[in-house]
A and B are shown apart, each in its own frame.
Chain A
């Protein structure tokens, strides 16, 4: 089973021009717990997926919102020459196929 099979929404977005943030949302507590208890979602796994230093990855477990969140500095500041995703909305793709054991 992969993350997208369980989550109702996986999304990325700018949190201001300098930070990218990733939300993983679920419909019910069982699904949220299923992923949380698997231990598959953590800063090390995210750092590996995005080839970024683990100390730059912030991770939050938000049980009251049935959600997980990651935040990292943007590789290029929003709108900098070469930035191909002004709103940061299409950066969540590597999370889709994260294996949830």
Chain B
């Protein structure tokens, strides 16, 4: 790959997440600036543990196909590699294969031929248990407890890869790198690091570019175009009305990070303490001074396990007498439900194996113990009852048994039978299917940077099928 005799390297970050909706005009405009590669993140834990646990992507297939098609065609037009990481939201093997199927359709429809590196990031449980035994799985802060049974009970565990597996794929001639779970910044840092650009700048460029136009002053339709030289990153958007400002770029390093200065990657930490941000023109910002500290190699693990099956009931309460004593009233409702469950389902379900949670919208449902306003009572309260049990059938029955007590549980203020709960639906019970929980906040210490990841090369061509 020619990088102007390594004077600078340029890349496009077309969108914050594959499926988010690439602005194709802006992509064309940026493509005319002779980029050396296109990279895009496709995953996140932001939506919760379900995608990882269940093996289901978070974006609609059509949206992923449209964006992937735009990127792969742009890559072929400019003869530059396209790198996709954290495929299918969670970056498990099933997620990677889902995106691969979409890519097959795209190459067939557009008569493309792509030397494709598929890098799987899902972890073998026996391998992880060996690492655990050797004290080579370390907790981050805070971390849930880890044991062989936590590893076994997780439905899927992925390792977040660094630049090394991507670099190997590029060095072996990949036009298209389709990676499982991967550090967002690594997708953009891999090629600049191969060409000897300063690690602090390469990583920081990835960090500020990976969310697409979120780094701009105001979010809008466009792409990010980033250039790295030996002493500076310059970052700018293409897209109507978009601009990067020193403040917008500096502030972006805060977003979704617990520490604004230090960002841990597999091979070390990039340190933005001494970074400076200056306007180059109205829309472009120059960054200098970012550093990288090499540290012992670690790979972050993400795991999700089945928490149970869930059914819910949605409704509301308007009666001021009930709202005034909602907490104690719901405690009464709960005991009543617990008692009927014990009578009717006691053989199948003991109290420790199910959960009933009332989310009381209007009273602390959103902030719980953080709620500063403990005084004001609303005129209306929304209630979501969540019943979780080991099977969907039991969760459904739990919710069914909850409806009558919610409707009719008495209060002292009214004599006779009341109906205190305004049920939204009939049937009242909505089955939500399986629900998952995150099981790990740990890093693994592998022997090599690539041993946790499996790379397969295929020629993804029009005639391949």
> Interface on A for B, CB 8 Å cutoff?
13-19, 21, 23, 25, 49-51, 58, 60, 62, 64-67, 69, 71, 73, 75-82, 84-87, 90-91, 93-94, 97
7 smallest CB-CB distances across A and B, nearest first, come from A65-B250, A71-B258, A79-B48, A15-B258, A94-B372, A65-B251, A73-B142
Known: A66-B247, A73-B141, A76-B368. 13 other contacts (CB 8 A): A14-B46, A16-B45, A16-B258, A18-B438, A64-B277, A65-B253, A66-B251, A75-B369, A75-B370, A79-B436, A80-B438, A81-B386, A85-B366
Say yes or no: A79-B437 contact (C-beta < 8 A), given A58-B259, A65-B247, A65-B253. Answer: yes
- Nearest A residue to B251 via CB reads A65
- Nearest B residue to A15 via CB reads B258
A18 touches B142 (CB 8 A): yes
Q: List 23 A-B contacts (CB under 8 A).
A: A18-B140, A19-B258, A51-B369, A51-B370, A62-B254, A67-B251, A73-B142, A75-B368, A77-B437, A78-B49, A79-B48, A79-B50, A79-B436, A79-B438, A81-B307, A81-B386, A81-B435, A81-B437, A82-B357, A84-B367, A85-B366, A93-B367, A93-B371
Residues of B in contact (CB 8 Å), total 46
Residue B256 CB within 8 A of the other chain? yes
CA distance A25 to B388 in the complex (A): 40
Say yes or no: A90-B437 contact (C-beta < 8 A), given A64-B277, A65-B260. Answer: no
Query: Smallest distance from the beta carbon of A18 to chain B beta carbons, Å?
Result: 5
**B-side interface mostly:** loop
CA distance A79 to B355 in the complex (A): 14
- Nearest B residue to A62 via CB reads B260
List chain A residues, Cβ under 8 A from B436. 79
CA distance A67 to B248 in the complex (A): 11
List chain A residues, Cβ under 8 A from B254. 21, 23, 25, 62, 65, 67, 69
**A-side interface mostly:** loop
CA distance A19 to B372 in the complex (A): 20
Say yes or no: A58-B258 contact (C-beta < 8 A), given A17-B45, A77-B144, A87-B46. Answer: yes
List chain B residues, Cβ under 8 A from A77. 144, 437-438
Inter-chain CB contacts under 8 Å: number = 120
List chain B residues, Cβ under 8 A from A69. 254, 260
List chain A residues, Cβ under 8 A from B277. 64
List chain A residues, Cβ under 8 A from B46. 14, 87
- Nearest A residue to B49 via CB reads A79
List chain B residues, Cβ under 8 A from A85. 366-367
- Nearest A residue to B361 via CB reads A84
- Nearest B residue to A61 via CB reads B260
CA distance A16 to B371 in the complex (A): 22
CA distance A66 to B249 in the complex (A): 11
Query: Smallest distance from the beta carbon of B272 to chain A beta carbons, Å?
Result: 9
CA distance A13 to B47 in the complex (A): 12
Q: Which of B224-271 contact A (CB under 8 A)?
A: 247, 250-251, 253-261
Residue of A19, A50, A58, A87 with most partner-chain B CB within 10 A: A19
Query: Smallest distance from the beta carbon of B330 to chain A beta carbons, Å?
Result: 14
List chain B residues, Cβ under 8 A from A49. 372
Query: Smallest distance from the beta carbon of B97 to chain A beta carbons, Å?
Result: 24
